């Protein structure tokens, strides 16, 4: 009796298992393209990563795709166009949840750590090591480091965005101050700010200022301060360098004589210095933006001032492209990733077709790049191109761990209170460090 029941069930089970296997094979086939034509899907967002208006956002990518398809017959590269940057994170998350994320996709800075730790991004180390045509020393270190998670490379940089100090040449000339040299210091910065801040029209309030929008983060970076331990579990806010930075920021704030400088003051040519990203420079320098926004003064860019323990550096913002760990064509995808992020052909196009800076040293120093940059600069305003390369060389990559944004937000509000004088300076940094460490460790 018992035996009979089991025999009967065994037949049923075999039948069910067969059906399961058949359906699995069927689904697998649906999701797998035919071998004759390999399709690599690409995940991109429209517009610029640097929050500046951008006309032809796919120009560089399209050229790279055309080149790659020509050199690799049988490979087709597709992408969905028109996804805005603000929708991109959700779009990519939906694809990942569906299990059909693109083989290659742009990784937003906020999502990089999440996707690396989840294992969605492919670890590229072994591919890079086994590829003799690939050499990491071609990259600017800070750009390459930005694609690392726990010392492993999970994405390659596509373009970078250094921060430069913009100088109102007209204002400095009026005050008879020479444009600072590239290795200028905090002290120089303070001196100039003190000299230019004055009341020119005699209405009793100052209407000419030294700086606008210079943050304590930028100061900390140029003072050689590492704010977080590499594993993101500990912070160094109580460091002496941070102490110096805060003292400097308080001094600097004093130069404004209690007046809150606005963006309008800068636009009207009343401010001597303002940190700007390269993208803003590239966007607003050429016609027609230049006329529209900053017509009243001449301006140029120099490196950031260096602190007593640091160099003339800034944090480098970088756009990353990563590979899906679930991609079915990893080899050919890696080739295309190199075409985008390593080939100097593609990278050389960035200065002319995009607002970013190439991440390959050779591409920045190439003649094409120089031509592209000079072309935009009107009249006698020749930009000193070596600045870009120098800034890229010395730049540091900001840390990326899950709680980074949150920790920085918290630290920012506390430190702003210290700079504004609402919190007493004594021992305040120790408290901040303790508070941030509590956040990081829980």
Partner 1 sequence: MHIKIYSITVMHYFLYIFNAIVVFFLAGFMSITQTKINISMSAHSFLSSISAPPFSASEIIIFSSCSFSILIFLSTFYRRCLLNQNNQRRYILLALEICACLIVMRSINMAYDGVILLVVADLVSGYRGKNQRIILTVAMLGLYLIASYNLIDLRLKMIPLDAYISYYDQPAQGILKAACNIFTSFNMIIFVIYMMLLVQNQHQEKERIQSLNEQLNTANEKLRNYAIEAERMAETRERNRLAREIHDTLGHALTSIIAGLDACLATIDAAPAFTKKQLQVISDTARNGINDVRRSVKKLRPDNLERLPLKDALYQMIREFSSASGMQIELQHECWPQNLREDEEEVIYRIVQESITNANRHGKAAHILITLTEENNWLKIIIKDDGTGCENPVKGFGLRHMQERLMLLHGALAYEGHGGFTIKAAIPLNRGDVYNDKNNDSG
325 and 53 in contact (C-beta within 8 Å)? Answer: no
Using CA atoms, how far residue 154 sits from 85, 106, 323, in Å, is 21, 12, 8
Which of 311, 326, 330, 431 is close enough to bind partner 1 by CB under 8 A? 326
Q: What are the backbone dihedrals phi and psi of residue 120, each rounded to the nearest 5 degrees, phi first? A: -80, -35
Q: What is the greatest pairwise CA distance in the chain?
A: 109
Alpha-carbon span 325 to 194, nearest angstrom: 54
CB-based contact 110:89 (threshold 8 Å): yes
Contact with partner 1 (CB under 8 A): which of 35, 56, 97, 137?
97
Q: Binding residues for partner 1, how many (CB under 8 A)? A: 34
Using CB under 8 A, pick the residue from 14, 291, 362, 409 that binds partner 1: 14
Q: Does 405 bind partner 1 (CB under 8 A)?
A: no
Residue with Cβ nearer partner 1 (1 or 424):
1
Pick from 32, 70, 86, 98 the residue near partner 1 by CB under 8 A.
Answer: 98
Q: According to the binding rule CB under 8 A, does residue 16 interact with partner 1?
A: yes
Among 63, 67, 117, 366, which residue interacts with partner 1 (rule: CB under 8 A)?
Answer: 117
Using CB under 8 A, pick the residue from 52, 59, 114, 250 that binds partner 1: 114
Nearest approach, Cβ of residue 94 and partner 1 (Å): 4
CB neighbour list of residue 394: distance below 8 Å, 6 or more residues apart: 303, 311, 312, 313
Residue span 23-52 as binding mask against partner 1, x where in contact by CB under 8 A, dash where not: xx--x-------------------------
Q: State yes or no: residue 17 binds partner 1 (CB under 8 A).
A: yes
Question: Can the peptide bond before residue 362 be classed as cis, meaning omega within 30 degrees of 0?
Answer: no
372 binds partner 1 (CB under 8 A): no
256-294 burial, b at 16+ Cβ within 10 Å, e below that, comes to beeeebeeebbbebbbbbbbbbbbbbbbbbeeeebeeeb
**Counting contacts by CB under 8 A, is residue 268 touching partner 1?**
no
User: Rounded to 5 degrees, what angle do the CA atoms 228, 229, 234 make?
Assistant: 75
Residues contributing to the site for partner 1 (CB under 8 A): 1-3, 5-6, 9-10, 13-14, 16-17, 20-21, 23-24, 27, 89-90, 92-94, 96-100, 111, 114, 117-120, 325-326
């Amino acid at each position: 009796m018992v035996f009979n029941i089991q025999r009967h069930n065994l037949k049923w089970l075999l039948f069910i298992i067969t059906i399961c296997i058949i359906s699995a094979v069927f689904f697998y086939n649906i999701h797998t393209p035919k071998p004759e034509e390999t399709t690599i899907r690409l995940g991109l967002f429209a517009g610029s990563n640097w929050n500046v208006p951008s006309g032809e956002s796919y120009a560089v990518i399209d050229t790279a795709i055309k080149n790659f398809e020509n050199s690799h017959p049988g490979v087709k590269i597709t992408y969905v166009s028109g996804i805005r940057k603000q929708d991109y994170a959700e779009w990519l998350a939906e694809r990942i949840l569906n299990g059909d994320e693109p083989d290659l996709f742009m990784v937003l800075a906020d999502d990089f750590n999440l996707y690396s730790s989840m294992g969605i991004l492919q670890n590229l180390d072994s591919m890079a090591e086994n590829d003799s045509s690939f050499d990491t020393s071609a990259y600017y270190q800070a750009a390459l480091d930005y694609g690392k998670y726990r010392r492993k490379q999970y994405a390659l940089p596509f373009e970078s965005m250094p921060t430069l100090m913009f100088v109102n040449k007209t204002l400095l000339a009026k005050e008879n101050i020479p444009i600072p040299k590239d290795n200028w210091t905090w002290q120089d910065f303070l001196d100039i700010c003190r000299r230019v801040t004055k009341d020119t029209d005699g209405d009793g309030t100052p209407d000419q200022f030294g700086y606008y929008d210079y943050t304590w983060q930028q100061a900390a970076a140029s003072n050689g301060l590492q704010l977080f331990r590499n594993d993101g579990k500990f912070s160094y806010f109580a460091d002496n360098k941070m102490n110096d930075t805060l003292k400097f920021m308080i001094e600097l704030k004093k130069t404004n004589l209690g007046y809150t400088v606005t963006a309008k003051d800068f636009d009207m040519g009343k401010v001597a210095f303002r940190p700007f990203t390269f993208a803003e420079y590239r966007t607003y320098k050429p016609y027609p933006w230049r006329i529209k926004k900053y017509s009243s003064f001449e301006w140029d860019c120099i490196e950031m001032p260096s602190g007593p323990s640091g160099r003339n550096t800034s944090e480098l913002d970088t756009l990353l492209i990563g590979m899906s760990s679930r991609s079915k064509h990893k080899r050919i995808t890696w080739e295309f990733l190199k075409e985008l992020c390593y080939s100097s052909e593609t990278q050389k196009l960035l200065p002319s077709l995009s607002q970013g800076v190439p991440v390959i040293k050779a591409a920045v120093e190439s003649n094409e790049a120089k031509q592209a940059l000079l072309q935009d600069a009107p009249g006698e305003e020749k930009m000193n191109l070596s600045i870009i390369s120098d800034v890229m060389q010395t730049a540091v990559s900001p840390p990326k761990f899950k709680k980074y944004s949150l920790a920085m937000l918290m630290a920012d509000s506390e430190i702003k209170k210290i700079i504004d004088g609402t919190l007493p300076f004594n021992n305040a940094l120790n408290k901040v460090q303790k508070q941030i460490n509590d956040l990081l460790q829980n």
